[in-house]
Amino acid sequence: MTLSNKDKEYVRTFWAKVSIQVEDVGNDVLSRMLVVYPQTKTYFSHWKDLGPGSALVRKHGKVVMMGVGEAVGKIDDLEKGLLTLSELHAFQLRVDPANFKILCHIILVVLAIKYPNEFTAQVHVSLDKFLCALSLALAEKYR
């Protein structure tokens, strides 16, 4: 998926707003994912409390969104920039790459809810393209 310069601009500008609230956004994203897609709980079976807003969900949600923020910073070469994260997910965490698409969908939903005025149609398209490219970059080491 090719991101135009305009797409990159929309993503960077929108992310500047999101980055201020990564913990809250991450909590909402991970909480929603675990409820809407309960099969994703298998990756967190060692946690005692998978409830929405629990301390571990909040903490890991922040980690996830910080990773997305890292990807925004490497938007010009996601595959190379996210090589370490791709290796981590493929070889250590062994996350099914289908879950990246689930997570990206949930991220879009949460961002649309939290930022209704800023989440314009163009921002939506650009973020969707970016998150698709991010998913592909994370899945690179699975090939």
Rounded to an integer, what distance in angstroms lies between the CA atom of residue 142 and that of residue 108? Answer: 24
Rounded to an integer, what distance in angstroms lies between the CA atom of residue 141 and that of residue 79? Answer: 10
Phi, psi of 75 (to 5 degrees): -60, -25
* Cα torsion through 74, 76, 80, 81, rounded to 10: 0
Q: Which residues contact 24 (CB under 8 A, 6 or more apart)?
A: 114
pLDDT tens, per residue, the chain with 143 residues? 689 999 999 999 999 999 999 999 999 999 999 999 998 888 777 888 888 889 999 998 999 899 899 999 989 877 766 656 656 555 565 666 677 889 999 999 999 999 999 999 999 999 999 999 988 877 766 55
pLDDT for the residue 96: 66
Asked if residues 11 and 137 have their Cβ atoms less than 8 Å apart, the reply is no
pLDDT for the residue 143: 57
Rounded to an integer, what distance in angstroms lies between the CA atom of residue 13 and that of residue 26? Answer: 18
pLDDT for the residue 20: 96
pLDDT for the residue 48: 83
Rounded to an integer, what distance in angstroms lies between the CA atom of residue 87 and that of residue 140? Answer: 8
